[in-house]
Homo-oligomer: A and B are copies of this chain.
Amino acid sequence: MIATALARGCASFLALSICTSAALAAGGPAVSHFTLANGLEVVVIPDRRAPVVTHMVWYRVGSADETAGKTGLAHFLEHLRFKGTEKKPGNLFSQTVATIGGQENAFTSSDYTGYFQRVPKERLKLLMEFESDRMTGLVLTDAVVKPELDVVLEEENSRVANNPGARLSQQVTAALYLNHPYGRPVIGWRNEIEKLTRADALEFYKRFYTPNNAILIVAGDVDAGEVKTMVDETYGKVARTTEIAPRQRPMEPEQVAPRTVTFADPRVTQPSVQRQYLVPSSTTAAPGESEALDVLAHVLGGGQNSRLYRALVLDKKIALSSSAWYQGTALDYGTMGVSGVPKEGVTLAQVEDAIDGILAEVIANGVTDEEMKRSKDRLVADAVYAQDSQSTLARWYGAALTTGLTVEAVKAWPDRIKAVTTTAIKDAAGKWFDKRRSVTGYLIKDAPRPGEKRS
């Protein structure tokens, strides 16, 4: 059984409190980057601490590339890619990974789909034989497709349908995008998942799964030369099956009207309020702007020294928690979020007012040098610590390269964070905390009755 992760950019899969765009401290590993004749990009990240390797293949396709009416297809195909090929039928791949003591996983986001394994270094070539084989060799029969659809529907059931917080987030996201496919849930709308077919999956596979739409990332106890040799003998032999057009999605009209969404459910144990603003991503931002948003989010909501936590939890004592985040890893748009969980007896409106007060302060007066320095130090330190994790590093490169950034941009991220100024932060707050570009979501206990006034 594959534990599939659904991710919108990095926010939901990095175990950091703040999701950084992509980071590597100065003095990080000597990353190599090359492209094969068939178009496959390869990134090698040496890490000699243990005799293991992390092997990932990322495809530049996600839920935002689906045809309208087929939401969930990118994720469904991710599941189906574990169903075997002519050469390696059934679940031989997964069995092999398990037999050699490895781990595997896969994940789908709006912009990318990734597959990874971690194995002893001696097994790297074996992995490449399997993974390159299923790059274009997938075989799908109704006998495997139909049961897997039930698996995906059950996943939707447990992750979304029975999770009030996830349902609210899905509705907030749908309301945030008036036109762009980022408004779709990565897992898909249930009414459309139910209708996905083998033919849909195969058509999508043939359209997007080709070496010239993929990035191989190998991190671990290897050097670029060894990897290059193995890659030439495996992935290098996969023919490109199709050409890939530039990813041009329908873009947002000017956003002019603040929106709210209220989700009420008897299973809600803890009401909360969140707001998401539509902002630039690392890929689309003006120079320095995305980094300023990273620091701004940390000053506002990164930990117990943050403005929101101090104001709402410590000083006013109206909230159990309050946070802020910037999700900037995306091809087309980023989001800036703030949230708060009221204490017993406090209304969502009181918490929202307090958050608005903090935002108004930052818009008017910016942040202090001390706040900025503390946040920058922390973000850069997180990037350094992250090098302890092979898979985190590999994911940063994968997410960056599938959303329009470069290896150089990933490497330079800590320096760009260090260069952020208080002026840039104040400007970013003033420009992007614009309620007309936002959706505020309320999670409340109990279902509303028809005709009832919203609370």
Q: Footprint of B on A, CB under 8 Å?
A: 68-69, 71, 167-168, 171, 174-175, 178-179, 181, 183-184, 189-192, 248-254, 256-263, 352-353, 356, 359-360, 363, 430, 433-436, 440, 448, 450-454
Contact = CB atoms under 8 A, between A and B. Distances in A.
A396 B68 CA distance: 31
Question: A-B pairs with the 8 shortest C-beta distances?
Answer: A69-B250, A189-B253, A360-B451, A171-B257, A359-B451, A260-B260, A174-B178, A434-B450
A221 B198 CA distance: 56
Contacts of A453: 352-353, 356
22 contacts: A71-B179, A71-B250, A171-B256, A174-B179, A179-B189, A191-B251, A191-B252, A191-B254, A192-B250, A258-B261, A258-B448, A259-B259, A352-B453, A353-B453, A356-B453, A430-B450, A433-B451, A434-B450, A435-B448, A435-B450, A435-B454, A440-B454
Nearest to A356: B453
Contacts of A254: 190-191
A256 B248 contact: no
A191 B256 CA distance: 14
Nearest to A192: B250
Given A69-B248, A363-B451, A257 B253 contact: no
Most chain-B Cβ atoms within 10 A of its Cβ — which of A167, A252, A436, A451?
A451
A189 B178 contact: yes
B452 A360 contact: yes
Contacts of A356: 451-453
Contacts of A181: 68
Contact of A262 (B250, B257, B262, B451): B257
A451 B191 CA distance: 36
Contact of A250 (B68, B249, B259, B363): B68
Contacts of A452: 356, 360, 435
B253 A263 contact: no
A260 B259 contact: yes
Most chain-B Cβ atoms within 10 A of its Cβ — which of A174, A183, A252, A450?
A450
A258 B31 CA distance: 49
Contacts of A174: 178-179
A435 B371 CA distance: 43
A261 B453 CA distance: 15
Contacts of A450: 363, 430, 433-435
A17 B454 CA distance: 29
A255 B50 CA distance: 51
A253 B191 contact: yes
B69 A190 contact: no
Most chain-B Cβ atoms within 10 A of its Cβ — which of A68, A184, A353?
A68
B183 A178 contact: yes
Given A71-B179, A250-B68, A360-B451, A259 B257 contact: no
Contacts of A257: 167-168, 171, 261-263
B178 A249 contact: no
A256 B167 contact: yes
A256 B441 CA distance: 13
Nearest to A248: B69
A273 to B, nearest CB: 12
A332 B454 CA distance: 27
A454 B71 CA distance: 33
Contacts of A448: 258, 435-436
Contacts of A71: 179, 250
Nearest to A440: B454
A433 to B, nearest CB: 5
Contacts of A171: 178, 256-257, 259
Given A68-B68, A71-B250, A168-B257, 18 more contacts: A167-B257, A171-B256, A171-B259, A174-B178, A175-B178, A178-B183, A191-B252, A191-B253, A257-B263, A260-B454, A353-B453, A356-B452, A360-B452, A363-B450, A363-B451, A433-B451, A434-B450, A435-B451
